[in-house]
Amino acid sequence: MKDLLNFGEMLSVHARLAPNSLGTRDLDRSMTFGQWNDRACRLANALLGLGLAKGDRVAILAYNCVEWSEIFAATAKAGLVALPINFRLVGKEVEFIVNNAEAAAVIVQDELVGVVEEIRDALPVKADRFIHFGTRQCPAGYRDYEAFLSAGSARETNQHVALSDPWTLMYTSGTTGNPKGVVRSHRSAVLLSMVTEIELGLHRTDGALLVMPMCHANSLNFFGAFGYCGGVNSIYSRKSFDPEHAVKTLAEGGSTFTSLVPTHYIMMLGLPQATRAKYNFDAVTKLMISSAPARPETKREVMDMFPNSGLFELYGATETGWVTMLHPHEQFTKLGSVGRECVGAAPIKLLDEAGNEVPDGETGELYSCNAHTFDSYWRLPEKTAQAFRGDYCSVGDMARRDADGYIHLSDRKSNMIISGGENIYPSEVEALVGAHPLVKDVAVIGLPDDKWGESVHAVIVLHDGAALTEGELSAWSKERMAGFKRPRSYKFISEDEMPRNATGKVLHRELKKRFSD
């Protein structure tokens, strides 16, 4: 009996049934399902023709663009593993991921070639497996994406790809400082797409405006869902979020859905009323707010701005996929909750430190169980084992359940900062800032920020007799970490002022309380 179809196979079905229907696009280029499938087949065969074998990782470093649609479909068809890399990372961060994943090929957009060139000699990729795309001339030492793709066969590959095979390897920061690779199978992607379609009530007449980076799980998961149901995936291919342009694109682009972080909505709500009044949002029927806590007043204003649209809120993670969903009809009765378990999931468990379930109203660590949970952390069996209790998975979030079964997040992963929808782990930033020779100790915390949700703040203890300015430390950090991770402010304190527990561990919560007041 035939199993479920993976994304590459499903694209082939759409190309056969609706070859001339719009399938995917960005702000500059569009493709029908027929064209999309043709190009995905050519890219898949071209990659296999380079000698890549089933399971090999293909790193992608690019801004949002329609090429992501081709690459994700091509890797699915070829049995290769897509390795999306955050375009905000600096060279050393990219180097760690490519080397840790042992990537067999790199596909890079022209504006980001400099990042690759900085570290190229340290990468495990063979010299003939660097592929360049974009509007600029292909640099020496790279294959031209269009020429490479065109030379590939338009036939479907003869590669056997099982649903249990991995499709994506996405890196998420770990509490130890080094990013962890999250392995997700084709089966996980298919089942999460189905859950999304059911929860949102999707149809082939729906279309998604994918604003969040395609290297993030949020956009990839919605991309899969709309691709499976035959809707249009519109990729917002601007390198930065322009609220008026986004509003215009959403109003005039034909999309019925978008998923944004609270920061995006706040920026859109900040537009002058006269500007917002120029656009008609009647076609927008579904909105998602996720990836960071949303204040009740923000959600109310969003619902006022888009009166024809239902507002959904979800809670999930790269590892777990969607865990809970709050639906439009629940927004006013359960404002502040992230909803209840998504369809098909087992009841959430909230456990104390001893592994016992806590009563309703009390806080415990959240464990979820569903069919689309990740397979493993890449080559980290101990970390994988720590994430699971049987079939239940936790990413360290704390929550409580009310009497009606709705989940309320009480805390996030230990000390984690969420700024503009990006997960930032203090330990990673502390390791980089702490490498400065004049820094004796550093603690990184998140402080409230009206626009970004939280901003990164570093509390510094210098070595005795050392002198260092905020500007000097900021310049040091700029060379060593991505912009979204860098501290926005620094506070210098004495060693005696750094709060610690009995074992000497820094009390981040005490610092956060002190500097938030």
Q: What's residue 409's pLDDT?
A: 85
Calculate mean pLDDT across residues 449-471: 91
- DSSP conformational letter for 500: B
Q: Can you give the CATH number for the domain in which 450 is found?
A: 3.30.300.30
- Considering the domain boundaries, does residue 330 fall inside one? no
Q: What's residue 219's pLDDT?
A: 95
Contact in structure between 191 and 168 (CB atoms under 8 Å): no
Contact in structure between 419 and 446 (CB atoms under 8 Å): yes
Domain that holds residue 484: 417-516
pLDDT tens, 212-251?
999 999 999 999 999 999 999 999 999 989 999 999 999 9
C-alpha span between 117 and 247 (Å, rounded): 36
Total structural domains within the chain: 2
Calculate mean pLDDT across residues 256-269: 92
- Considering the domain boundaries, does residue 281 fall inside one? no
φ, ψ of residue 90 in degrees (nearest 5): -90, 175
C-alpha span between 44 and 226 (Å, rounded): 21
Q: What's residue 432's pLDDT?
A: 84
Give the domain-ending residue among 185, 206, 237. 185
- Considering the domain boundaries, does residue 259 fall inside one? no
CA 406 vs. chain centroid, Å, equals 25
Dihedral sign, CA of 360, 361, 367, 371?
positive
Quick one: what percent of the chain has pLDDT higher than 90? Answer: 76
- Considering the domain boundaries, does residue 252 fall inside one? no
Q: Which of the four pLDDT bands, split at 50, 70 and 90, describes residue 189?
A: very high
Q: What's residue 107's pLDDT?
A: 98
Q: What's residue 141's pLDDT?
A: 96
Whether the per-residue pLDDT at 324 is higher than 60: the answer is yes
80-84, 324-328, 467-471, 495-499, range with the lowest pLDDT = 495-499
Q: What's residue 196's pLDDT?
A: 98
Question: Residue 323 is inside which H or E element, if any?
Answer: strand 321-326
- DSSP conformational letter for 272: -
Q: What's residue 51's pLDDT?
A: 97
Q: What's residue 176's pLDDT?
A: 46
pLDDT tens, 76-125?
999 999 999 999 899 999 999 999 999 999 999 999 999 999 999 999 99
C-alpha span between 95 and 117 (Å, rounded): 11
Give the domain-ending residue among 139, 168, 185. 185
Q: Which of the four pLDDT bands, split at 50, 70 and 90, describes residue 3?
A: confident
Whether the per-residue pLDDT at 507 is higher than 90: the answer is no
- Considering the domain boundaries, does residue 11 fall inside one? yes
- Considering the domain boundaries, does residue 435 fall inside one? yes
Q: What's residue 211's pLDDT?
A: 96
Residue-averaged pLDDT of the chain:
92
- Considering the domain boundaries, does residue 465 fall inside one? yes
Give the domain-ending residue among 137, 159, 185. 185
Query: Which CA distances in Å does 42 have to 45, 73, 149, 181, 404?
Result: 5, 11, 5, 28, 52
Contact in structure between 291 and 418 (CB atoms under 8 Å): yes
Q: What's residue 452's pLDDT?
A: 87
Q: Which of the four pLDDT bands, split at 50, 70 and 90, describes residue 495?
A: confident
pTM score of the predicted model: 0.86
Q: Which of the four pLDDT bands, split at 50, 70 and 90, describes residue 414?
A: low
- Considering the domain boundaries, does residue 53 fall inside one? yes
Instruction: Please state, as a whole number, how many other Cβ atoms lie within 10 Å of the Cβ of residue 368.
Output: 28
CA dihedral 25, 26, 28, 29 (to 10 degrees): -20
Q: What's residue 290's pLDDT?
A: 87
Calculate mean pLDDT across residues 25-42: 98
Q: What's residue 80's pLDDT?
A: 98
Calculate mean pLDDT across residues 130-155: 97
Q: What's residue 380's pLDDT?
A: 96
pLDDT tens, 346-402?
999 999 989 999 999 998 899 999 999 999 999 999 999 999 999 999 998 889 999
Q: Can you give the CATH number for the domain in which 102 is found?
A: 3.40.50.12780
Q: What's residue 410's pLDDT?
A: 76
